[in-house]
Amino acid sequence: NISSLFRSGSRSSKTFKPKKNIPEGSHQYELLKHAEATLGSGNLRMAVMLPEGEDLNEWVAVNTVDFFNQINMLYGTITDFCTEESCPVMSAGPKYEYHWADGTNIKKPIKCSAPKYIDYLMTWVQDQLDDETLFPSKIGVPFPKNFMSVAKTILKRLFRVYAHIYHQHFDPVIQLQEEAHLNTSFKHFIFFVQEFNLIDRRELAPLQELIEKLTSKDR
């Protein structure tokens, strides 16, 4: 049947989940364009700073959507290498293993393969991003009071996908000549979460050495 055909085909297709689009013409779209323009200057420390007069929640929201899309794309290119067989657990090196829980559907953390974990994770993030009460796309609709804590949880979880790719799938990344792309994306992500203190240092431990290497040049 079509749906199982589509499902089996979707694992290796280039993007893993549908891209989350920010509506053109909206203020958030303008912010995204601003972010892309400053990124183009090559100065990532400057690029992550809150633009003058802008709302921090909105800036965090726009960038969170952007990171989701980037990670989605990066992971989408290596799904052929990240299988139930190759990655029976969701890990980031020998010392770090992640178990999935979302607090609503799955309250008690479950041990699952990396592809399954990342599927749960990206689906969960997508649901948050699509929730207009959490991520309002309409002008003048206020962000909820708990927005920052939701954004922090999303970013903390997205970090785990980077950590898994770096630890378990770096060889295919090199073969696909995506190393520079991955490093730039991750560096942008790290500068962003550092700028606004969005991820606890403990959570970043699996990639601590890499973070120091990537950020030391830009002090």
Within 13 Å of residue 141, how many CA atoms lie on the same side as its CB? 14
Integer CA distances (angstroms), 146 to 31, 56, 149, in order: 22, 13, 6
Is residue 112 annotated as involved in ligand binding? no
Do 173 and 167 meet the contact criterion of CB atoms below 8 Å apart?
A: no
To the question of whether residue 27 is assigned a binding role by annotation, the answer is no
Fold of 27-216: Butyryl-CoA Dehydrogenase, subunit A; domain 3 (1.20.140)
- For the stretch 156-186, pLDDT in tens is 999 999 999 999 999 999 999 999 999 999 9
pTM of the model: 0.88
Domain borders along the chain are: 27-216
Residue 99 is labelled as binding a ligand: no
Distance from C-alpha of 169 to C-alpha of 81, rounded to nearest angstrom: 7
Give CA–CA dist 88/70, Å, rounded: 24
- Residues 18-52: pLDDT tens digits? 778 888 878 888 888 888 877 766 788 888 999 99
Residue 217: the pLDDT is 66
* 151, 64 Cβ separation under 8 angstroms: yes
Are 110 and 99 spatial neighbours (Cβ–Cβ below 8 Å)?
A: yes
